Amino acid sequence: MTTNNYIIDIQHVYKFFNNLVALKNISLQIKPTEKVVILGPSGSGKSTLLRTINRLEKIDRGKIFVNGQDITHPKCDINKIRMEVGMVFQNFNLFPHKTVLQNITMAPIKLKKIPENEANELAISLLKKVGIEDKAHVYPGQLSGGQQQRVAIARALAMQPKVMLFDEPTSALDPEMIGEVLDVMVNLAKEGMTMVVVTHEMGFAKEVADRIVFMDAGEILEQGTPDHFFNNPNHPRAKQFLSQIL
């Protein structure tokens, strides 16, 4: 049942928190360069689903293949997989005891054994890409939220991942900083990165998504193009969700 043409292949996944069914029979296949945006009300399991993809959350039933490898298999070296799956968190989670540059170079140096000067060059070029190369030598605590999140994106990109996972990357930001982070993500999408994004930014979803996945109560209730989802959703709960946010 391994798959070659999917970069992420989620098959009949269940996840329980005590008695709560956080994920209920989820299946989702994502192709290289595809951009998938996951929408749904609070508590519907969006974060949980995203976090199962790099096994920050262990699943209770089903299978997940990342890049053809079964990450639910006990012999799977999850650290290898994680090097190829970048993740960006709502709260940035930068390392406050390291400078911006060190935040970015740490994983390439320690995990990929890239020489320090090469790693520094890579970091600088990534900082240019996210528009804050002048902040290389400051500590994260001295940056605004928008800047911190852009550093966090650069940090994830430094491992040259095949997929990027974003869990509400703009939800902790002041409104005036949301744009600068979304711009970086839009550019990343244009460069062909495979992206799975949980967000409440509908404008971003419409502009970037190849596919919208709508979840509620741990289930995927509807999938389709942004055009389909925003204009003709089939499921009543998708309609209700849209009426509440629009």
Partner 1 sequence: MKDNKQKVQIEVSDGAAIPTKKDFGLFTAWHITLIAALSILLYLVIRYPDPYLDILEFVSDGIVVTFEITFVSIFFSLILGLLTGLGRLSKNKCINLIASIYVEVIRGIPLLVQLFYIYYALGSFFKVPPFVAAVTAMSICYGAYMGEVFRAGIESIDKGQTEAARSLGFNTKQTMFYVIIPQAMRTILPPVGNEFIALLKDTSLVSILAVGDLLRRGREFATESFAYFETYTMVALIYLLITLLLSKLVSITEEKMRPYDN
Ligand X SMILES: Nc1ncnc2c1ncn2[C@@H]1O[C@H](COP(=O)(O)OP(=O)(O)OP(=O)(O)O)[C@@H](O)[C@H]1O
Question: To the nearest whole angstrom, how small is the minimum distance from the Cβ of residue 46 to Mg ion?
Answer: 5
DSSP codes joined into one string, 69-96 = EETTSTT--HHHHHHTEEEE-TT----T
Identity of the residue, 40 or 86, whose beta carbon is nearer to partner 1 in the bound complex: 86
Kindly indicate which of the ranges 31-39, 44-52, 80-88, 119-127 contains the residues binding Mg ion, using the contact rule CB under 5 A: 44-52
106 binds partner 1 (CB under 8 A): yes
CA proximity to 22, closest of 40, 39, 44, 51: 44
The whole-angstrom separation of Cα 41 and Cα 73 is 31
- For partner 1, which residue of 58, 95, 118, 203 counts as binding (CB under 8 A)? 95
Kindly indicate which of the ranges 25-33, 44-52, 99-107, 146-154 contains the residues binding ligand X, using the contact rule CB under 6 A: 44-52
C-alpha pair distances (Å), 206 with each of 56, 83, 156, 194, 244: 28, 29, 24, 16, 17
Question: To the nearest whole angstrom, how small is the minimum distance from the Cβ of residue 22 to ligand X?
Answer: 4
Q: Cβ atoms within 10 A of the Cβ of 181, count?
A: 25
Which residues ranging from 7 to 26 are in contact with ligand X (CB under 6 A)?
17, 20, 22
- For ligand X, which residue of 19, 42, 79, 117 counts as binding (CB under 6 A)? 42
Instruction: Phi first, then psi: give them for residue 175, nearest 5 degrees.
Output: -50, -40
Q: Cβ atoms within 10 A of the Cβ of 159, count?
A: 17
Q: Which residue has the tokens 């999140």?
A: 149
Which of the listed partners (ligand X, Mg ion, partner 1, none) does 20 bind, with a CB threshold of 5 to 8 Å by partner kind? ligand X
Q: Which two tokens stand for residue 241?
A: 């969700």
Q: Which two tokens stand for residue 201?
A: 């930014």
Q: Is 109 helix (H, G, I), strand (E, B) or coil?
A: helix
C-alpha pair distances (Å), 77 with each of 19, 72, 103, 152, 164: 29, 10, 24, 24, 19
Identity of the residue, 47 or 170, whose beta carbon is nearer to Mg ion in the bound complex: 47
- For ligand X, which residue of 8, 35, 37, 45 counts as binding (CB under 6 A)? 45
Identity of the residue, 85 or 122, whose beta carbon is nearer to partner 1 in the bound complex: 85
Identify the burial level of 33 via C-beta atoms within 10 angstroms of its C-beta, where 0-12 means exposed, 13-18 middle and 19 or more buried. Answer: middle
- For Mg ion, which residue of 47, 52, 99, 120 counts as binding (CB under 5 A)? 47
- For ligand X, which residue of 9, 26, 40, 233 counts as binding (CB under 6 A)? 40
- For ligand X, which residue of 44, 72, 99, 199 counts as binding (CB under 6 A)? 44
Kindly indicate which of the ranges 39-47, 72-80, 118-126, 173-181 contains the residues binding Mg ion, using the contact rule CB under 5 A: 39-47
Residues engaged in binding ligand X (CB under 6 A): 17, 20, 22, 40, 42-48
Residues engaged in binding partner 1 (CB under 8 A): 54, 56, 79-80, 82-83, 85-87, 89, 91-97, 106-107, 110-111, 139-145, 148, 152, 155-156, 159, 172
